């Protein structure tokens, strides 16, 4: 009968220990934003969506001033060369569409020549959210045994709560044939 009681008590102690061990674990979450690889591409199919011709266009004039019989004459002529130079000029534009710490950065580059877009490129640097979950034991029990040069055997047990611990010791001195107890406080760093 006694062996059965001991077995039942051991099973109960095991179940309580398992339950208490599960309750002593806490979770800590770390969130980091990691930069991904740059995505670059060129848009080749640029389609005209709408076109508007103003009724009074802004023209480029060349101004000539000349004097005749103490009078000043100012003549403004449309500068065809300047208009042609505007037409054949190649202009490159760059803008940052968005730059956020959680989404990334999108830059757009556009080249315009002959009054139409000839090339449109983009660079996208994505940012990925990386979540790491850590299991941290808040209560950590321990058990130990030792023997020293004073011919003493020590059995110790205790627990740590985060970094602070309590240590209980049972000390047996074989030379003096004495038994004693010890109490200690510990700190981990």
The DSSP code sequence of 85-103 is: HHHH--EEEEEEEEEETTT
Contact 127, 103 (CB under 8 A): yes
Residue 24 lies inside a defined structural domain of this protein: no
Same domain, yes or no, for 182 and 101? no
CA–CA distances in Å: residue 43 to residues 108, 118, 123: 11, 10, 11
Same domain, yes or no, for 121 and 86? yes
Based on the structure, what is the number of domains in the chain?
2
Confidence (pTM): 0.50
pLDDT tens by residue, 142-180: 888 888 888 899 888 888 887 888 898 988 898 888 888
Residue 22 lies inside a defined structural domain of this protein: no
Same domain, yes or no, for 184 and 109? no
Q: What per-residue confidence (pLDDT) applies to 121?
A: 92
Residue 14 lies inside a defined structural domain of this protein: no
Residue 126 lies inside a defined structural domain of this protein: yes
Same domain, yes or no, for 39 and 99? yes
**What average pLDDT does range 31-40 have in this prediction?**
89
Contact 128, 33 (CB under 8 A): yes
Full residue range of the structural domain in which residue 69 is found: 32-47+60-133
Q: What are phi and psi of 160, to 5 degrees?
A: -110, 135
Same domain, yes or no, for 125 and 93? yes
How far is residue 14's CA from residue 12's CA, in Å, rounded to a whole number? 5
Residue 19 lies inside a defined structural domain of this protein: no
Contact 92, 107 (CB under 8 A): no
């Amino acid at each position: 009968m006694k062996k059965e009681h001991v077995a039942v008590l051991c099973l109960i102690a095991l179940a309580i220990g398992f339950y208490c061990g599960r309750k002593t674990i806490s979770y800590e979450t770390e969130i980091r934003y990691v930069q991904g690889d740059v995505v670059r591409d060129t848009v080749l199919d640029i389609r005209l969506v709408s076109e508007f011709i103003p009724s009074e266009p802004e023209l480029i004039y060349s101004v000539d001033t000349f004097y005749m019989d103490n009078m000043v004459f100012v003549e403004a002529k449309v500068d065809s060369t300047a208009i042609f130079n505007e037409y054949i000029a190649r202009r490159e534009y760059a803008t940052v569409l968005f730059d956020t710490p959680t989404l990334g950065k999108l830059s757009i580059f556009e080249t315009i020549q002959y009054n139409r877009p000839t090339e449109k490129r983009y660079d996208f640097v994505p940012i990925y959210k990386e979540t790491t979950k850590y299991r941290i034991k808040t209560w950590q029990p321990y058990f130990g045994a030792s023997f020293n040069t004073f011919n003493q055997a020590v059995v110790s047990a205790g627990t740590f709560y985060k970094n602070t611990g309590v240590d209980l010791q049972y000390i047996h001195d074989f030379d003096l044939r004495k038994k004693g107890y010890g109490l200690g406080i510990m700190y981990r760093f």
